[in-house]
Chain A
């Protein structure tokens, strides 16, 4: 399924859910001291970053494909 055929609504949905999960991960990262569980904090931070970066990549490709049309 080519991204250029995706509906904008799907992108909004992806960003909404991705944003919620990233927000929860960041909240978890910020709420407790790192020293308590460093590995957990690392995973939550990486999860948040990966979600945001992944969504950005998808949006970039989608926008690029649309522009090339």
Chain B
């Protein structure tokens, strides 16, 4: 009988420890509502800042919801030592995605955007810093090796790829290599929007004409004088 009681106590304690551990793991995804301060004692802080008014339009709810779901997955994947933070006005995000745009704590995000000189039109932004983002001293809250990603012009697959890369770096290295990750994102942005068929046809026409234009040469041979004219400079 006594052995059974001891055994039951041990099982309850174990369950409690497991539940506490799960809670700590979920704490890596920090959803800050209302006046909650950002939790401390993490190695890195990944903040999603929604300062762009275009993303607050009711028509963008599904896009915001998709971004939030990606953020959730990212927060779970980066481990307990790293925090992923999103600012809400209320807990309504748990119940419905129909009002997401209304309950994003934009005012709080804008304070970050202003202090860190982030252009709202380029957002939403993902900022990763290893220093605790103290809201009373935001200007000093960006570490030397911080990274800023502008998600406004990125398609959902690009955002997924970026988050996957960042997850690798945070989990393996404990920090992000901002130069390595900015280049792919900027390269995608530098490529511009996907080209339509008529633009591709124009490009092909241009290449064909250029190739044709370089294909001919003109040679003149008149006794001692000879000239060789080529349409393009030899490379």
Contact = CB atoms under 8 A, between A and B. Distances in A.
What range describes how many residues of A lie at the interface? Answer: 10 to 19
Contacts of A42: 198, 202
Interface stretch (A3-11, A14-22, A30-38): A30-38
B209 A34 contact: no
A35 B195 contact: yes
Nearest to B204: A34
A55 B191 CA distance: 39
Interface residues of B, number: 11
For the residues of B in contact with A, the DSSP-based class is helix
Contacts of B165: none
Interface in B187-213: 192, 195, 198-199, 202-203, 205-206, 209-210, 213
A34 B206 contact: yes
A41 B195 CA distance: 14
A31 B198 CA distance: 18
B106 to A, nearest CB: 35
B25 to A, nearest CB: 46
B205 to A, nearest CB: 7
Interface string A24-56: 001001100111001001100100000000000
A38 B201 CA distance: 10
Given A29-B206, A45-B205, A35 B192 contact: yes
Contacts of A33: 203, 206
A34 B202 contact: yes
Given A35-B192, A35-B203, 8 more contacts: A29-B206, A30-B206, A34-B203, A34-B206, A38-B195, A38-B202, A41-B206, A42-B198
